[in-house]
Amino acid sequence: MSASTSIRINQELYEQAKQDATLEHRSIAGQIEFWARVGRAALDNPDLPVSFVAESLASMGESRDQSQPFVPRSRRG
């Protein structure tokens, strides 16, 4: 069980998180936590595009039972 902490955020940020959370099938808190992880990872890896960081973190949260193995383009038929 993870601990929770209440914080105050701008209403506009909250509304955007609410919209994005619906689209991404996350809770509002989960969406804000995702944004925080993306921001932290982007700051820690300034040479990587933020979109790559975000997609990588999102893929790490996906279920492995529906994953497909990576096949390089050079080996695809």
pLDDT tens digits, 30-57: 999 999 999 999 999 999 999 989 888 8
Give Cα 51 distance to the centre of its chain: 10
Instruction: State residue 76's pLDDT score.
Output: 64
Is residue 16 a contact partner of residue 27, using CB atoms and an 8 Å limit?
no
The pLDDT-based confidence of 20 (bands split at 50, 70, 90) is: very high
The pLDDT value given to residue 32:
95
CA–CA gap between residue 57 and residue 3 (Å, rounded): 21
